[in-house]
Structure formats: C-alpha cells, structure tokens
Structure 1
Amino acid sequence: MTDAEGAARDPGLQPERTALSWRRTIMSIIVADIFIWRGWFHALTHERASPPGTMGGVFDAGHSSHVIALGVCAMAACLTTIILVACAVSRIRVLHSGVERLDQAADIAASALTLRTASAAIVALAVAAICAIALGM
C-alpha cells in the first residue's frame, strides 16, 4: 500500500497509535474513577461523627441517601471502567493480529458491538461523574 507520493506505508503505525490512544483514555478514566471513589469514601467516613475507637461510620448501617447515591456512582464508574478496559484490550489485540493484513479493512474494523458497548460505557461513566459532582464529591 502506498500514499500519494509513492512511499510505502508502514502498517505498524496504526495499531500502535490506537494502542497508545486507548492507554491514554483508560488512564483518564481511572483518574475519574479515583475521584469518584474518593468522594464516596470521604462521604462515608464523614457522614456522622463517631465515637473514638470506631471505624468512622464506614460499616455503620443506615447511611444517608447522599452516601448511597455516591456509592452507586462509584460502582457504576468501576463497572464502566472494567467494560472499557475489556473493549480496549480486544481492540488492541485485533489490530495487532491484523497488521500483516492491514489492506483488508473488513477484517480489522471494529465490530458494531464493540463500538456500541464502548460508547454506552463512556456515556454511563460521564453520567456517574456528573452525578457524583452534583452530589458534592
């Protein structure tokens, strides 16, 4: 395969760029997860003043709706991160296995299921982050 100037194209660059892009995306998602989980743990430990020598409210029953909502946001963030990591790993594997056959675009194109799953997970993570911010992480 050649470009407009006639130089040979290096088929190894596309999978490498995609892998680096997915790694940056996953790192950004993990940072968002850490902030959401930090907000939830902070709300758990500071929900009510506890007597000295106790766990600080982490294992107490009867949490407020604020703490429960932040917990739901934290769990949603964790689940979406796991889903996105799985999509990234599968996509990187497909690209690296298809480097020799890069001219056959149908073989290495992302499946519709992968695209829909990743898109839904990103939207769900954004909603969880916005809800956590609104709840006052």
Structure 2
Amino acid sequence: MASSVAPVRDPGLQPERTALSWRRTIMSAVVADLLIWRGWLQTLTGFGGGPDTGLGLGGALGGYSAHVVGMGVCAAVAALTTIVLVLCAAARIRLLHSGVAPLESEGHIAVPALIVRTASAAIVTLAATTVCALALGM
C-alpha cells in the first residue's frame, strides 16, 4: 500500500542562499546607482552644468542643459528601481524565513509571479537607465 501523506519538506539552506543572492543583486544595483548619481553630480558642478549652452531649452529646463536634466532623470529612475528591488527582496526573504511549517508543500515555496515580474522589470529598467547614463557621458 502506498502512503498518500506528502513528504515533509526540508528547506535546507535555501533561505540563506536566496537571501545572499538578493543581497548581491541589490549591492550591484546600489553600485550602479552610485555611479549614475556621481555622474549627475559631476554634470551639475562641472563640465556639463550651469546655464543652457545654446540648445534653446534654458527657460524650460530651469537654466540647466538637457544633459544635466537627462542625467537627473537617470539618477531618479535608478534610485526608484533599486527601492523596488529592495522591496521585492524583503518580501521574498520574509516568505522564506517564515519558518519550515508554512513551507512544507512546494506550492507555498514557489515565487509569486508578481515578485518575479516586478523584480525583472526593475532590473531591465536599471540596465536601460545605466545605458542611457553612459550615452549621456557619465
């Protein structure tokens, strides 16, 4: 006779491995953020900042060149995507560290689709923002 009792799940070190991988991802995002913010601050204080230099957008951009404004937008988007990644990581780590009892079946351990989609969109957005910042001359 076969038993119909589901085997007890042993998560092993999965919660710790997942937490470490999320931390590495967030650290990479923070490094990209810092470099973009550094580039924006350099454009504000140095080689690209100050009044508009002939693009005809000075009044619309508050006296700054389109380059400075573009770098500012990149810096803001980079910060927002990193915040989204931190929230996704916190939700996933909290789910994994909630204890062994709620994780006894595989259905409870599956990553919710919303976290996967949100984190993927944030990473792609951060990558595109980094490319835009590089194109602007970070």
Q: TM-score range by the shorter chain?
A: 0.7 to 0.9
Shifted more, 85-94 versus 95-104: the winner is 95-104
TM normalised by structure 2 equals 0.80
- 2:14 corresponds in structure 1 to 14
Q: Which whole-Å CA distance do the structure 2 matches of 1:105 and 1:65 have between them?
A: 51
> How do residues 1-137 of structure 1 correspond to structure 2 at under 5 angstroms?
11-46=11-46, 47-48=48-49, 61-137=62-138
Q: Distance in 1 between matches of 2:117 and 2:30?
A: 20
- Give the TM-score taking structure 1 as reference length: 0.80
> Which string of whole-angstrom CA distances, capped at 9 and with x for unpartnered residues, describes residues 67-108 of structure 1?
101101000000000000000000000011143344411112
Deviation at 1:110, TM superposition (A): 1.0
Q: Relative to structure 2, which stretch is displaced further, 32-41 or 107-116?
A: 107-116
Report deviation, 1:49: 7.1
Indicate the RMSD between aligned Cα atoms, in angstroms: 2.0
CA distance in 2, matches of 1:18, 1:130: 28
Identity %: 64
* Matched residue count: 120
Paired with 2:82 and 2:13, the residues of 1 have a C-alpha distance of 26
Q: Unaligned regions of 5+ residues in structure 2, if any? A: 1-8, 52-61
Q: Which residue of 2 aligns with 1:56?
A: none
